[in-house]
Amino acid sequence: MMKAIIFDLDGVIVSTDHYHYRAWKDIADREGVPFDENRNVLLRGVSREKSLEILLELAPRPYLAEEKAKLAEEKNGIYRRLLQELTPDDILPGVLKWIEHAKEKGLRTAIGSSSKNTDFILERIGLSETFDTVVTGADVTRSKPAPDIFLLAAERLGVEPGDCWVVEDAPAGIEAAKSAGMKTIGVGEYVKDVAPDRWSLTLGEAEL
């Protein structure tokens, strides 16, 4: 019996892809690294540090660890400034209805996101008090596709992993959920072929 539903944040609750892209593009242009929207897809659902590693694969020179740390922090600064533009109007279609439906069914709810800016984003869109627990990349050592974020969410919710649905929009997130032994609901084109248990273009087109 399913007892909980864990939502990814970026691309599921709210779309921040364009903010991430603008911030990474700023860094890439400054460093002379080729970067476009197609390349940006590779960064979906992974940590800031891993995203930087992917971005720098095409860099014209190697980078020291301290240089990478500085670039990651600079990117986050740019990204957080852009996030100031977020409002509750940016919540994606179907999300609020889904959360309400889950609660009506007695399901526990959680956010499970690699983003260390999760709390800030939830505050900006007015959902800080909505979920039973929130787990972010700051709470675990290993980010997605490792299952740690989702396993910790289940632990905090007091449910078994096998009794959880995970809603994800990124292949790394689907992999993480399946590694945790959870059922998956994939939203968006990027996970259409990753074989989640259920797939739909938007949350409004899926059912629990």
Q: How far is CA 96 from the centre of its chain?
A: 17
Residue tagged active-site, from 8, 26, 90, 169: 8
Residue type, 64: L
CB proximity list for 131: less than 8 A, separation 6 or greater: 7, 109, 110, 111
Q: Is 8 a catalytic residue?
A: yes
> Which among 187, 9, 6, 15 is positioned nearest to 102, based on CA atoms?
6
> Which among 140, 141, 189, 143 is positioned nearest to 168, based on CA atoms?
189
* Alpha-carbon span 100 to 95, nearest angstrom: 9
Residues marked as catalytic: 8, 10
